[in-house]
Amino acid sequence: MIDFNLSLRTKDVNVLTEAIRTWYRHNHVTPTERATQLLCSAAVDLFSQGHRTPEELAALLITRFDSPYSLQVNAVTSTAHH
């Protein structure tokens, strides 16, 4: 869970940004708003767990989201039949 009380400094935001950019470069994809939201959320969560370098965060993001397809959310809709 994300700690929204986490106080981020400019240096911290730069670390998170570089990790997310590295994920996009690694996967050779163009950033989208939805993917960036998911990656940012995951990066902040990892950061709050003590992972503080762009290299470490990028490696964890690449492991967790091993392709752009892993960012897709397949939620069941209320109109779906089982």
Question: Which one is predicted more confidently, 80 or 23?
Answer: 23
Taking residues 36-58, report their average pLDDT. Answer: 96
Which range marks the domain in which residue 60 is found?
Answer: 17-68
5 domain residue, yes or no: no
Say whether pTM exceeds 0.95: no
Task: Give the tens place of pLDDT for each residue, 2-37.
Answer: 555 556 789 999 999 999 999 999 999 999 999 999
52 domain residue, yes or no: yes
73 domain residue, yes or no: no
82 domain residue, yes or no: no
The H-assigned helical ranges of 1-82 are 10-27, 33-48, 54-64
- pLDDT, averaged across the chain: 86
**Rounded-to-integer distance, Cα 75 and Cα 69, Å:** 14
- According to the model, what pLDDT value does residue 72 have? 83
29 domain residue, yes or no: yes
